[in-house]
Amino acid sequence: MISIATSLQESKLENLGHLGDMNDHDSLGLFQQRPSSGWGTPEQITDPAYSTTAFLKGLKQVDGWQDMALTDAAQTVQVSAYPDAYAQWEQQATDLVGQHWNS
């Protein structure tokens, strides 16, 4: 749920390429990860499997992430300028996971 809510906030689940002047720094992909921050190459970051795995690896490095509020866990990985924004997607992420992964 954390990864779904995060990518809903960051890209509305669209695998975003370079957006020119509208882009936040060099952020790319589902999670708006940045090559300059060590997330990978632009090609890697715009590969949904790679970017999701990179996010999940980052999440697993957060002590106690399983017991954190979704927005706190997401923020610890993402280091967003809007740390509380992830919370608005929690119900939608929960619903998506319930519909597609818990069957």
pLDDT tens string 46-69: 999 999 999 999 999 999 999 999
pTM above 0.85, yes or no: yes
> According to the model, what pLDDT value does residue 21 have?
61
- DSSP letter string over 16-59? B---GGGSSTT-BBTTTB-GGGTS--HHHHTSHHHHHHHHHHHH
Residue 30 CB contacts under 8 Å (≥ 6 apart), including other chains: 7, 10, 11, 13, 14, 15, 16, 48, 51, 52
pLDDT band of 103, cuts 50, 70, 90 = low
90 DSSP assignment = H
> What average pLDDT does range 1-27 have in this prediction?
83
How would residue 7 be classed by pLDDT, with cut points 50, 70 and 90?
A: very high
Q: What are the Cα distances from residue 31, in Å, to 4, 18, 94, 102, 103?
A: 9, 13, 18, 23, 26
